[in-house]
Amino acid sequence: MDDLVVVGLYRHGVTVDNERRAFSGWTNSLLSEAGRAALQQYKAHIPFYEKVIASDLKRCIDTAAIFFPDNQIDVWPELRELNFGRWEGKTHQELEHLEEYTTWLQDPFSNPLPEGENYQQFGSRISAAWKKWLDILAQNHLKRTAIVTHGGVIRHLLVELAPEKKEFWNWQIENGCGYELTGSLSALRRGERCISLQAVPSMEKRNG
């Protein structure tokens, strides 16, 4: 295929809120010291990309700056994580007494988040951003690109695009890591799945 493209999907590094196990969707949580140190270790194993975009939240912008210091990073607000509304910055222990929280946990794909996004809104936003990015690849004849974003965003895209079908929560996305999707650009623009999937960065020793 002459129109094969590779798109790397990278999750941001560990943040202060990740370490607290707090909900951090649109909250501008910062990378922790340990998160920055891990990204520096991964950096040598990150492959080359012609173009890189990132969620506009600082944890993604800072991760992209560490991984891709020679690239100009374009920021896309539409690549943000799910908006958790009133639960932003809260931990499970702080919320478990709320009936609306326990109801949401039973089916997070159907039940609403108070003052936040529902999953359908989130999924539509991410799918639209993906289609927009594919259009840019076609217009600029780009072959190798990367997106630095959030765990939920990557899971949604893998549910839609991975060669192997898995449920949302069955995709494991470590901080600072992700997957490269390879596929025909024309097929991807038609909504078809990619032809191969590879974990990145490729390292001899990785957790999980």
For the stretch 1-38, pLDDT in tens is 589 999 999 999 999 999 999 999 999 999 999 999 99
Please report, for the domain that includes residue 38, its CATH number.
3.40.50.1240
The strand pairing partners of 9, in sequence order, are 147, 179
Q: Is 109 part of any domain?
A: no
Asked whether the predicted pLDDT for residue 205 surpasses 60, the reply is: no
Could you give the 3-state DSSP secondary structure of residue 99?
Answer: helix
Number of domains the chain contains = 1
* Structure letter (DSSP) for residue 170: G
State the pLDDT confidence band at 206, using cuts at 50, 70 and 90. Answer: very low
Residue 37 lies in domain: 4-82+118-200
Q: Is 14 part of any domain?
A: yes
Q: Is 60 part of any domain?
A: yes
Strand runs labelled E in the chain: 4-11, 51-55, 73-76, 144-149, 178-184, 196-200
* CA nearest to 12, candidates 82, 59, 56: 59
Asked whether the predicted pLDDT for residue 58 surpasses 90, the reply is: yes
Asked whether the predicted pLDDT for residue 94 surpasses 50, the reply is: yes
Contact 55, 75 (CB under 8 A): yes
Q: Is 129 part of any domain?
A: yes
Q: Is 106 part of any domain?
A: no
User: How far apart, in Å, are the Cα atoms of 158 and each of 89, 110, 185?
Assistant: 26, 19, 16
Q: Is 54 part of any domain?
A: yes
The pairing of strands 178-184 and 4-11 is: antiparallel
